[in-house]
A and B are shown apart, each in its own frame.
Chain A
Amino acid sequence: GEDVEQSLFLSVREGDSSVINCTYTDSSSTYLYWYKQEPGAGLQLLTYIFSNMDMKQDQRLTVLLNKKDKHLSLRIADTQTGDSAIYFCAEYGNKLVFGAGTILRVKS
């Protein structure tokens, strides 16, 4: 079956790095995604990684994928107050399956 789990809350200081973790269950997932949702808004695609990759870097974002452990992480370097939001991990087998989201709070 498909299930995606994330920690619920992360608090960091402005300028520090944030690491949001996610575990998934569907080994047939072809893509794994990170979405950002700000209050009252829809979902913004931040980045995605193919299941045959281990790492992807995109400016301040680094995605690490451990296929053996079915573990995905998102690192945000130099975290800013504007990064405060809910971050969703999602896997795609034949549809997008989302985790419950991690609330990131950035303290100035």
Chain B
Amino acid sequence: DAGVTQSPTHLIKTRGQQVTLRCSPKSGHDTVSWYQQALGQGPQFIFQYYEEEERQRGNFPDRFSGHQFPNYSSELNVNALLLGDSALYLCASSPGQQDYGYTFGSGTRLTVV
């Protein structure tokens, strides 16, 4: 059983560009959450999707947006990239909006130059 799958694994973008990161949740999971992990820090909550809607959002600007598809997979979009957006972006899935059972993917390493 595949866990959470994220693509791509690594990405290099230029300041001002836009990027789309993808996540396929673990089988049986319908809720997807996105986290940003800057170097040397813990993951910071970006937002959570359930039933194709954004249910919660952390302290991130509107440049960060997302989407969830009917098959529960999700995308994270970041517009007008800044150097400070360089980080590991982690996707986590869970079976419903439960407060346990999060499974994390290996992440997408985004470097903005």
Contact = CB atoms under 8 A, between A and B. Distances in A.
Interface stretch (B14-22, B40-48, B60-68, B77-85): B40-48
Interface string B75-113: 000000000000000101000000110111111000000
Given A30-B99, A42-B107, A43-B104, A98 B43 contact: yes
B40 A95 contact: no
Nearest to A4: B42
B58 A88 contact: no
B92 to A, nearest CB: 8
Given A31-B99, A101-B42, A43 B90 contact: yes
Given A31-B100, A45-B102, A95 B58 contact: yes
Given A42-B90, A42-B107, A43-B90, A96 B102 contact: yes
Contact of B106 (A35, A42, A88, A100): A42
A99 B103 CA distance: 18
B56 interface: yes
A29 B21 CA distance: 30
Given A97-B45, A98-B42, A48 B104 contact: no
Contact of A96 (B4, B45, B103): B45
Q: Which of A35, A42, A44, A97 has the most CB of B within 10 A?
A: A42
Given A31-B100, A95-B48, A97-B45, A41 B33 contact: no
A74 B27 CA distance: 30
A52 interface: no
B26 to A, nearest CB: 12
Contacts of B35: 96, 98
Interface string A9-49: 00000000000000000000011010100001111110010
B42 A92 contact: no
A7 B8 CA distance: 32
17 contacts: A31-B99, A40-B106, A42-B90, A42-B107, A44-B104, A45-B103, A45-B104, A88-B42, A92-B99, A96-B33, A96-B92, A98-B35, A98-B44, A99-B42, A100-B41, A100-B42, A101-B42
